[in-house]
Structure 1
Amino acid sequence: MSRNAFLPGVTGIALLLLVAVPVTFVALQAVFPHLDTGSFSAPFSAFPPVFEEPQLRKLFATTLKVGLGVAICSGLIGIPLGALRGLFALPAAALWDILFLVPFLLPPYIAALSWMLALQTNGYVQQLLPWLHLNDFLFSLPGMVVVMTLNIFPVVYFAVSRSMAASGSRLADVARIHGAGPWRAFIRITLPMALPAMASSLLLAFTLSIEEYGVPGALGSRSGILMLTTGIEQRLADWPVDLPGAAVLSLMLVAIALCAYSVQRAVLAGKNVESLTGKPADVTQKSLAGWTIPVLILFMAVALIAVALPIVSMLITAFSRTLSGGLSWQNLTLGHFGNVFAAHGDAPAALSTSLGLALGTALIAGATGLMASWLVVARKIRGAALIDGLSLLPAALPGIVVGVGLILAWNQRFWPVTPYNTWGILLLAYCCLLLPYPVRYVSAALKQIGGNLDAAARVHGATAAQTLRLILLPLVFPSLLASMMMVFAVASRELVTSLLLSPAGVQTVSVYVWRQFEQGSVGDGMAMASVAAFLSLTLMLIAVRLQQRTAS
């Protein structure tokens, strides 16, 4: 292999192993139900039994209801808050950004468990407010939608606030000068310019909710509410294992996500609004004037419900000797944290395993993302569209589909060596799921740099590898490092693929927390969750800071 083909070849192999192999085997297993025995007989025979199951319609309908409900509710919360944050001089704006980052960083399954402890019968809220009974609401479809919404709405808030802050209010002010009222100027000028960001964030909220397993697994299991994710998990966990049925349901889940993307593209077709003045937009934010106090009350109310309540519930449980002891000073203890950091036990092993896997994921995903972005944006090699598509495809893949694909791919008899039933299968899963983070960050940085430096280096005799290592890498390194820290933070608490793929004797932080709840050791589970949440928040804040420093 020539020197010019070595780096593209290595990148292509990495993308094939991380992305193409699991996706291909999901499709193959769905089409050829006897693939696990090496037979390609009876193609498509797995589809009719799945489609004829009476439960399928309920799974499909519930998944759509949850996805649409979360998208709508996230829009109702995130769009007004984002507009206020982007267009007006909000007091302590940076503080609100940090607070609203917390729900997105708190793993959904931990948030669901925290809400259970807070709102269930004799929970923390009822101990303080005995007249308030929210147990039945929590363990219902609307309750699941609300819990997911409070975890997901920040993606809409940040997208809308950044979009409106970037577009500014100058064009709306021009409309006001020409006789438009404030609401008409907002609806006809400001809102259309932010429409792509709104649509993209609502699509993301929809896809994040339909692919979520932790909340349906925690809340839905008690109320009999099942989604496609829990249906897939049941087919893999219950005997007899139904690999073809799990593959068919996985394809259905991917199809829903792709249909949502197509609907978004159709809705936005021809409706993108851009400023063609050639001048930067005026980003001067307007004063809230007499609305300052009401707006602050609104932000405080959302922060109290979405941030403070689940975090406080988690910490109270972590510091409580027993749940039955209730809210009392006598019930406080540090024993659960002692168990987490004890020299002997499952908790330190789970923490070290998660940190090791997260570090490996950050390094592999970072390196692969850097190479893919460089080949697509800077080098523009032949096949760049395929590399770009493979590197961003995991963003549309639910985690449970990736897990199913890896099981189907690597649990085959013809492999001489396989990572199945080892920690390596978890590393592959995390790298596949989180690869889009470094791809997006590094691609954006390379587009800002442009192609002049690369071309100048090549003219002066530098090889492609030398140009990447000596010139481009130092320039994009802050963005790359920020994305790797985000990958580390998310990988350290990933749940669904960990539950599906963890081999016997191997526990991660998420699996440890989940199993502690199943075994009744709630305090130990929440102590571990607190440590993981603190670690994720710290790393994410550092990553955001690095991004801000790079942008400035």
Structure 2
Amino acid sequence: MRLTKYLRSGEGMTLAAVTFLALALFVFPLGLLARVGLTGEEGLSLAPLGEALASRSVLRALGHSLVTATLSACLSLVAGTAIALVMGLTDIRWKGAFTFLLLIPMMIPPHVTAIAWIQAMGPSSPILRSLGMAPELGSTHPLYSPGGMIFLLGVQHTPLVFLVVLAALRTLPREMSDAARIAGARPVRLLLRILLPLLAPILIAAWALAFVSALGNFGIQALLGIPARYITLPVLIWQRLASFGPSVLTDVAVIAALLALVAVLVILAQMALLVRSRATLIGPPQPPLHLALGAARPWAEGALAGLVAATLVLPMTALVATALVRTYGLPLNAETITLDNFIEILFRQSVTARAFLNSTLTAAAAAGIIAIGCVFLARFMCSRRRPVRRTAVSLATLAEMTYAIPGLVISIAFILAFIKPLPVLGVSLYNTLGIIFLAYLCAFFSIALKPVSAAYVQLDPALDEAARIAGGRYMFRMRRIFLPLIAPAAASGAILVFLTAYNEVTVSALLWSTGNETIGTTIYNYEDGGYTTLAAAMSSVTVLATILLMVLLDQLGRRAPPGVVPWRI
């Protein structure tokens, strides 16, 4: 009786709606994928996966994926942690500027990063040819190799590790570090004996996050792996589905299930390691250490400036230089420079404007819906009713696991779920922006949930109790009490979702169709079709748009509450 009364209330109906949407977005598509990949003629079975692994091409691609994801995640962990320690614990200057510049590569689409590095380091590089430093024409590109792929994946995900570790440094109590310093511990000993052991759970989580991100990265693996004949599982999925069409959807779904299984196993192993390595901390979070570098400070600042130049300025300069020459391979000089490529993609190619419009609308809609959903779900995660709290936590865990699943796997799952017309409505979402929008909701929900749930934990439960006693109904309490307090965290999550979805290519690579192109797929199609200068021009415009958007948000963040803009220190 009490359950029925609760379900009829505004809070109960909202919980039912959130649960239904989560099941429709997370469970239904991925459940269909699991049924295909883990179901044989006699029911639940690993036979389909066994048959897939019996294929030499699948087994080889799986090995390539594991090697590149593991080694690139290690590279990202070492580099990202080192940068975070310098930024978070020392007295270097211009921390805000360095943080902003170091995070830009993470916001640039991976395939754009790959194109930029290919054009910066290859024999046809306009910059290197203008300086007389280009490799000999006809020689193998240095990035077309497993090592090149590992390097570029490591560079792409270093900012991700940097953000995670930097946030953790700000929450560590200082008692143990202060005691060690009073006892005469030098910075190196303090780092090895105190800080790194305390950060061990965070480092494990950061490595796992970099691993699953690299595992499902499509753009870098396709643009570097295909010329090097080093095929990974995401590229193999794309090649098979793009070459043979929906008739091989079942076989591709089995490979996608294998890729998802690897990601889930890594996350489960990470959770087990976290339990064993967790250290109990006493005391509230305090401002992080502020170690004086002394004479070494200019060297540290110079090293960070060099890192920004190497990972951002050099590839982006090469990208723009390629966009400014008439034909790829020419040196950049007064005779070869031209704006024809920019004029072509901005004014002559209708697909460009359509792609920017499609990506903007889809990413903005997904960011808004996800932010609203997170506000309600995170509230249920803090509910006093145990069944409600458990239900919400289960949905949040499901969203976390979904985020760990590569984007191409989610694409396959949504193709399986929506290739047929919807029941009752008779409308098909396949080959429309609608299916890309729904896939974004599934893939990026967890990104916005983290800051919102963290904000709810900090609220005093007495606020809700006082409003209840005063007769405030559920939606009134949400609208007048919780939403104003949670809005900064929700805005932060929405910003991260928008910037992630705006330039992505992994999720939409298999879902786009003519008329429904996104920015990522259009750039990739230009490069894949041999229109390198046009791909460089559109990539340059995309990078400029991304940076301008980040600058605008950074300026707005000066007047917004703390936490709205994620990268502001």
> Same fold per TM (> 0.5)?
yes
1:263 aligns with 2:269: yes
**Counterpart for residue 334 of structure 1:** 339
**Compared with structure 1, are the counterparts of its residues 455 and 547 closer, same or farther at alpha carbon in structure 2 (3 Å cutoff)?**
farther
2:561 is matched with 550
**Of 51, 74, 77, which aligns to 1:75?**
77
Instruction: Please say if 1:389 is aligned against 2:397.
Output: yes
User: Per-residue deviation at 1:282?
Assistant: 4.7
Give the 3-state SS of the residue equivalent to 1:421 in structure 2.
Answer: coil
Map 1:396-435 → 2, pairs under 5 A = 396-412=404-420, 415=423, 416-435=426-445
Matched, 1:121 2:132: no
Give how far 1:338 is off.
2.8
Matched, 1:175 2:180: yes
> How far apart are the structure 2 equivalents of 1:547 and 1:473?
19
1:157 deviates by: 1.8
Structure 1 SS opposite 2:561: helix
Mean alpha-carbon deviation: is it higher for 520-529 or for 148-157?
520-529
Deviation at residue 232 of structure 1 after TM alignment: 1.6
Matched, 1:251 2:272: no
* C-alpha distance 45-318 of structure 1, shift in aligned 2 (>3 A): same
Q: Aligned to 1:201, which of 201, 206, 211?
A: 206
The answer on 1:29 being equivalent to 2:36 is: yes
Note the C-alpha offset of 1:369.
2.0
Q: Spell out the pairing of 1:294-313 with structure 2 (5 A cutoff).
A: 294-313=299-318
Per the alignment, do residues 436 and 545 of structure 1 end up closer, same or farther by CA in structure 2, a change over 3 Å counting?
farther
Task: Please list, as runs of the form range in 1=range in 2, the aligned pairs for 1:506-545 lying within 5 A after superposition.
Answer: 506-540=516-550
- 1:69-108 correspondence to structure 2 within 5 Å: 69-108=71-110
Q: Deviations over 1:58-107 (max 9, x none)?
A: 11111111011111111221222211111101121111101110110111
Question: What's the offset of the Cα at 1:337?
Answer: 2.9
Q: 1:374 aligns with which of 379, 382, 388?
A: 379
Determine the structure 2 residue equivalent to 1:319. Answer: 324
Q: Distance in 2 between matches of 1:397 and 1:129?
A: 44
**In the alignment, which of 500, 506, 516 is matched to residue 510 of structure 2?**
500
Residues 545 and 437 (structure 1 numbering): CA distance in 2 closer, same or farther, change over 3 Å? farther
1:286 alignment partner, SS class: coil
Separation of aligned partners in 2, 1:534 and 1:451: 44
Select between 348-357 and 239-248 the one with higher mean Cα deviation: 239-248
Compared with structure 1, are the counterparts of its residues 479 and 536 closer, same or farther at alpha carbon in structure 2 (3 Å cutoff)?
Answer: farther
Aligned length: 546
- Residues 1:252 and 1:540: Cα distance change in structure 2 (over 3 Å): farther
Match of 1:488 in 2: 498
The equivalent residue for 1:37 is: none
1:455-466 correspondence to structure 2 within 5 Å? 455-466=465-476
Root-mean-square deviation over aligned CA pairs: 2.6
Quote the Cα distance in structure 2 between the aligned partners of 1:117 and 1:33: 47
CA distance in 1, matches of 2:499, 2:187: 42
1:33-69 CA distance string (max 9 Å, x none):
79xxxxx989665334312111222111111110111
Secondary structure of the residue aligned to 1:292 is: helix
The 1:443/1:461 distance shift into structure 2, 3 A limit, reads: same
Asked if the contact 2:125/2:329 (under 8 Å) is kept, the reply is no
Alpha-carbon shift at residue 329 of structure 1 (Å): 3.0
Q: Secondary structure at the match of 2:290?
A: coil
Q: Percent identity?
A: 24
Contact 1:372 1:391 in 2 (8 A): no
Check whether the contact 1:139–1:219 (CA below 8 A) recurs between aligned residues.
yes
Are positions 1:15 and 2:22 aligned together? yes
TM-score under structure 1 normalisation?
0.92
- Residue 413 to residue 84, structure 1, CA distance change in 2 (3 Å): closer
Give CA deviations for 1:341-400 in whole Å, capped at 9, x if unaligned. Answer: 327622111111111111221222222222221222246525223222233332211101
Deviates more, 1:251-260 or 1:172-181: 172-181
Q: How does 1:110-149 map to 2 (within 5 A)?
A: 110-127=112-129, 128-130=131-133, 132=135, 135-149=140-154
Contact map agreement 2:155 2:311 (CA 8 A) in 1: yes
Cα gap change, 1:252 to 1:544, in 2 (>3 Å) = farther
* Whole-Å separation in 1 of the counterparts to 2:220 and 2:287: 42
Report the Cα distance in structure 2 between the residues aligned to 1:3 and 1:183, rounded to whole angstroms.
58
In 1, the alpha carbon distance for the partners of 2:549 and 2:20 equals: 30
CA–CA distance in structure 1, aligned partners of residues 238 and 402 of structure 2? 19
**Deviation (angstroms), 1:535:** 3.0
Give the Cα–Cα distance (whole angstroms) in 1 for the partners of residues 398 and 551 of structure 2: 29
3-state SS of paired residue (2:142):
helix
Q: Which amino acid aligns with 2:107?
A: L
Quick one: distance in 2 between partners of 1:434 and 1:446? 20
Give the match for residue 67 of structure 2: 65
User: Would the aligned equivalents of 2:264 and 2:405 in 1 still touch at CA under 8 Å?
Assistant: no
Deviations 1:188-236 (A, max 9, x none): 1121122222221111111100111111111111010111111222232
How big is the shift at 1:506?
2.1
Query: Which deviates more from structure 2 when the two are superposed, residues 300-309 or residues 88-97?
Result: 300-309
CA positional deviation for 1:108: 0.6
Measure how far apart 1:328 and its partner are: 1.1
Deviation at 1:161, TM superposition (A): 2.8
CA distance in 2, matches of 1:336, 1:155: 33
CA shift for structure 1 position 274: 4.3
> What's the counterpart of residue 450 of structure 2?
440
Tell me the SS of whatever aligns to 1:364. Answer: helix
Query: Structure 1's 262 and 16: CA in aligned 2 closer, same or farther, altered over 3 A?
Result: closer
Out of 238, 248, 259, the residue aligned to residue 233 of structure 1 is: 238
Distance (whole Å) between structure 2 residues aligned to residue 42 and residue 262 of structure 1: 21
TM-score computed with the length of structure 2 as normaliser? 0.89
CA positional deviation for 1:122: 2.4
Pairing 1:161–2:166 present: yes
Confirm or deny: 8 A CA contact 2:122 2:142 kept in the other structure.
no
Mean alpha-carbon deviation: is it higher for 363-372 or for 400-409?
Answer: 363-372
Contact kept, 8 Å, 1:482 with 1:542, in 2: the verdict is no
8 Å CA contact 2:173, 2:285 repeated in 1: no
Aligned counterpart, 2:360: 355
